[in-house]
Amino acid sequence: MYKSPSQLPEATRAKLAETLNARLADGLDLHSQIKVAHWNIKGPQFAALHPLFETFAVGLALHNDTIAERAVTLGGRAYGTARHVAGNSTLPEYPQETTRDMEHVRLLAERILKYLEGARASRALAEELADTDTADVFTQVITEFEKHAWFLGASLES
């Protein structure tokens, strides 16, 4: 661990950096999957979903940056190469042959819910370790991505 302005003990900061990197791997994977959907979507809902997916990707990129910078602020490192993400993401692979609009909605909804599971677990750990700042980072992620999951879920209701 590197020096940090945080007053948390080094062992605590190491645990936090580990969970932040786990969420970074998931977030970078989810970002790439959202972009695959954004680029390849076809169907009657194209005009509405294409920009919506881009909005999701832009927001997630900002959260990924915040998560990575929090890990480094705590004295850890941020791991985010494609090879690292491929080996560490908890999200299922995205079927890249998918083109239909509502199939992309279903696939992204599933993956966002999985991403939220990890974010909630990381927030719980941060709370347990008394790091309200890291917990706040995850609260912001959860708030935004629960809304995205709701948008997608509402689109799937008949």
Alpha carbon distance, N-terminus to C-terminus of the chain: 51
Q: Following DSSP, what letter does each residue of 59-80 receive, concatenated?
A: HHHHHHHHHHHHHHHTT-----
Residue 33 lies in a domain: yes
CATH number at residue 52: 1.20.1260.10
Residue 4 lies in a domain: no
pLDDT tens by residue, 42-85: 999 999 999 999 999 999 999 999 999 999 999 999 999 999 99
pLDDT tens by residue, 118-153: 999 999 999 999 999 999 999 999 999 999 999 999
Note the pTM of the prediction, 2 decimals: 0.96
Residue 2 lies in a domain: no
Residue 22 lies in a domain: yes
Number of domains in the chain: 1
What is the residue range of 15's domain? 10-156
Measure CA 21 to chain center: 11
